[in-house]
Structure 1
């Protein structure tokens, strides 16, 4: 079972991922050819030569990027507890000042900006946990970095680790204050020994920095699921679902398949109820603007999260409930079951409740609710919570049911 030993991560439940790099300039298209896959992989999928791709750095001047505003929104409007930013994605371009290579946002671009520093400063200002994504195995710019879909057997991968990866990790872990999380990705052919070398380096510089499950060889501090994949059942230990608002991570001007805010709320609650964190992505465009659709969705989700904070942050894995409820999701804390009402209802009805109930109330305003407990005709326990008239046509709020006992919550089906 994975254990980060970091209470902040266990309690956070909701974080912001940010994929941003030179690929934002292409926005899903190169020389008239569109990629039908994730936009940040365009260099790989469309076989763009290194010398051609590097020219993008000379065009990268995102005058509208405002780290302070993004972090403020994430914390105050969207209800997120941590942020993870792509310091170097597979394209090999560093979004920070690197002495390891001039191929970075300060030295190779007309903006001359260190985006890791800007975001680190903003996160520290707003008391937001700051994490960095770093592609430890794939580097399509480095001749010895791995590249998915290409032949890698001739490469001296250890040279890449020693001469680029490790020096850059040392830079990002020593120049920007506390780094709460290091998000490694796509380990590919990295060996167990090489993974251990990276882990040892991270922990030697920042002992409390937790490492994602994609470090390689099942050696991270927590389990990272597949992109947009949610465990079917409650899962013990610390884990996280990285996910998108549309179909891509990096900005793609052709991807308009935006999820609805209601769907994001349901996914967040489903992940939280099964014990995990939801790391939800934005992909700024080449000018540094966060897509307006992303902002609109996250504003609506954030309203729900802030109003129902008690029922989200610090919640724990809910015991497996035997019934599928289209209108609700559960989260829980010791002695409390939160019923998230996602469709209009006259009352909240839950059967197979094993606990004695003390009280019920609306989470967002503390309003006390009348409830009835008893046995259904089949002999199973139930609770009915009467909803006030003004809420019977509403959706997206949480009802807290306080319990006498801590465990169990649900009875076995007879």
Structure 2
């Protein structure tokens, strides 16, 4: 994370840093030695040390689970405009229906009066669900401030019948109940202010510059949110757009007003923030070397949309939480209060169900780190490492019919194993291939049963290569491949699909890049090799086989790069059982990029 600090030549300490931040937020873009095109002498951008970042992120990485809240005046009509339901989530209704500012105010702002809203009960539900932090939309793209803004009368206190500061009530409730509190703020898009980005349909707007919008509204509101609402743990930016350096620095510096605040990666291209954000989608593999979070609505829309009943099941939500934690990430689950200020019964029921599961199994989520295993066919794994050993939490989605749970490659001595639900002791058996845990016939939880395995010493997991299944078929998927990219050339990579099996190796335009898979064969013989691939060009040639035994293969167009088909490519003779390697190398001068989802070896 970049920070703007004061060098000793002009002052030192927290007071000087806050003075700088406040000066920038008040619009002093170029006065004195504060900010110009480049930082003036005396002002320097620095980065946190890894140790500083880790200390700041400790509570966040322990929490693992938070509540996102999208709430605005659009909830009055549930996203409906004059009998029609615009596409997209409800909070985009003004944009998608091209609603004039005057009409949006009449039909939404003037009618916003959520008299059933109870901040204490709302935060209490988040706490009951096992959530440790809450982030709410202080201002979304429609430009309406859900707090008593001093910079704009277009806010919930001054412009609605409700006349209560929702952000203040939630901040106080979170503080009282031990929940970390954070604000979402749409810093660039504002469809109400004449300098904000996004409103290209209302011709009554008398345009001013974006910098004027930042100076008049965004920067002062950010300053107010970060100085008048108590401890703020998170500031969640959204939809970065091009902006001047002055505007960027003005917004960026604001977070220094709250020591230790955590920000996401959506302020601007030059600002990485403290963590990476994945929207609606869980990555198949965790990003390397960064903290990260998945934000996802509990239903289809972020904001309350009365036609939306696409609620995710409790099973999906609980397994999502375990999946994300098993990759070292956080789950920010969004809910959508109605115009009355309450959640729909479907959302409340699911949060309570998650809470019941977390009450029993929360230890397997809070404070855990990513799984040491590459893939587990029965579920997921989280872990906690200690000075003398490691605790593995096995999240069993699919209870084994044979009562055997296998941990591939685990070489450590097992000290104990038990069910988290009732502390029932379990027997284990170790071998060179891994550890087998014997389970009772019945799963204690039909969604996600947690098995605890304590092992001694530093984790030692021996790589386990893929092997053919019982019918002699071996599948080598895209995400199992090792990609040898040519330094300086275009980088072939695995493109994630909506499902793991839809991921593919793509961007493979460099004919010097090649891929290989390692696997183990227990029975030598002849194996047919087929591939699921796509090819837009007329044809492509490459070499396939074991090292030193490559044979040329030609494939023809499948239509487009999105049209995948399965075709037999070659037959391999594997003479000895044991570890094997299979390679694909482009034939220079005859190569056209293919998309490759998987290879399948079938014994003849």
TM-score, with normalisation over the residues of structure 1?
0.92
Q: CA deviation at 1:231?
A: 2.1
Q: Are the structure 2 counterparts of residues 393 and 29 from structure 1 closer, same or farther at C-alpha, using a change threshold of 3 Å?
A: closer
Q: 2:76 aligns with which of 15, 18, 25?
A: 25
Q: 2:395 aligns with which of 331, 340, 347?
A: 340
| 2:355 aligned counterpart, secondary structure | helix
Listed as ranges, the gaps of 5+ residues in structure 2 are: 2-49, 466-578, 580-604
Report the structure, 1 or 2, having the larger helix content. 1
| 2:247 aligned counterpart, secondary structure | helix
Q: 2:249 aligns with which of 196, 200, 206?
A: 196
Indicate the structure whose relative CO is greater, using CA pairs within 8 Å and at least 6 residues apart. 1
Report the counterpart of residue 360 of structure 1 in structure 2: 417
Q: Deviations over 1:274-293 (max 9, x none)?
A: 11100000001101110111
User: What does 1:293-312 correspond to in 2, within 5 Å?
Assistant: 293-312=346-365
Separation of aligned partners in 2, 1:247 and 1:128: 26
Report the counterpart of residue 431 of structure 2 in structure 1: 374
Report the counterpart of residue 113 of structure 1 in structure 2: 164
- Is 1:48 aligned with 2:103? no
Q: Are the structure 2 counterparts of residues 194 and 356 from structure 1 closer, same or farther at C-alpha, using a change threshold of 3 Å?
A: farther
Q: CA deviation at 1:399?
A: 0.7
Q: CA deviation at 1:305?
A: 2.0
Contact 1:310–1:363 (CA<8 Å) still a contact in 2? Answer: no
Q: Deviations over 1:117-169 (max 9, x none)?
A: 110010001010000111111111111111177799x7511111111001101
User: What does 1:280-295 correspond to in 2, within 5 Å?
Assistant: 280-295=333-348
- Is 1:313 aligned with 2:370? no
| 2:131 aligned counterpart, secondary structure | coil
- Is 1:268 aligned with 2:321? yes
User: What does 1:228-247 correspond to in 2, within 5 Å?
Assistant: 228-235=280-287, 236-247=289-300
Separation of aligned partners in 1, 2:405 and 2:419: 11
Q: CA deviation at 1:262?
A: 0.7
Q: Which one has the largest radius of gyration?
A: 2
Report the counterpart of residue 378 of structure 1 in structure 2: none
Contact 1:308–1:363 (CA<8 Å) still a contact in 2? Answer: yes
User: What does 1:92-103 correspond to in 2, within 5 Å?
Assistant: 92-103=143-154
CA-atom RMSD, angstroms? 2.2
User: What does 1:316-335 correspond to in 2, within 5 Å?
Assistant: 316-321=369-374, 323-325=375-377, 327-334=378-385, 335=390
Equivalent residue pairs, number:
404
TM-score, with normalisation over the residues of structure 2?
0.64
User: What does 1:65-104 correspond to in 2, within 5 Å?
Assistant: 65-75=117-127, 77-104=128-155
Q: Are the structure 2 counterparts of residues 11 and 38 from structure 1 closer, same or farther at C-alpha, using a change threshold of 3 Å?
A: same
Q: Are the structure 2 counterparts of residues 29 and 393 from structure 1 closer, same or farther at C-alpha, using a change threshold of 3 Å?
A: closer
| 1:29 aligned counterpart, secondary structure | coil
Report the counterpart of residue 483 of structure 2 in structure 1: none
Report the structure, 1 or 2, having the larger strand content. 2
Contact 1:192–1:217 (CA<8 Å) still a contact in 2? Answer: no
Contact 2:406–2:435 (CA<8 Å) still a contact in 1? Answer: yes
Q: Deviations over 1:325-344 (max 9, x none)?
A: 1x311111111221101233
Q: 2:192 aligns with which of 137, 141, 150?
A: 141
Q: 2:437 aligns with which of 368, 385, 391?
A: 385
Q: Deviations over 1:155-203 (max 9, x none)?
A: 5111111110011011111111000000110012235553333221221
Listed as ranges, the gaps of 5+ residues in structure 1 are: 376-380
Q: Are the structure 2 counterparts of residues 65 and 409 from structure 1 closer, same or farther at C-alpha, using a change threshold of 3 Å?
A: farther
The more displaced of 190-199 and 111-120 is 190-199
Contact 2:141–2:189 (CA<8 Å) still a contact in 1? Answer: yes
Contact 1:315–1:332 (CA<8 Å) still a contact in 2? Answer: yes
Separation of aligned partners in 2, 1:187 and 1:302: 34
Q: Deviations over 1:267-316 (max 9, x none)?
A: 11111111110000000110111011111112112222221111100111
| 1:299 aligned counterpart, secondary structure | helix
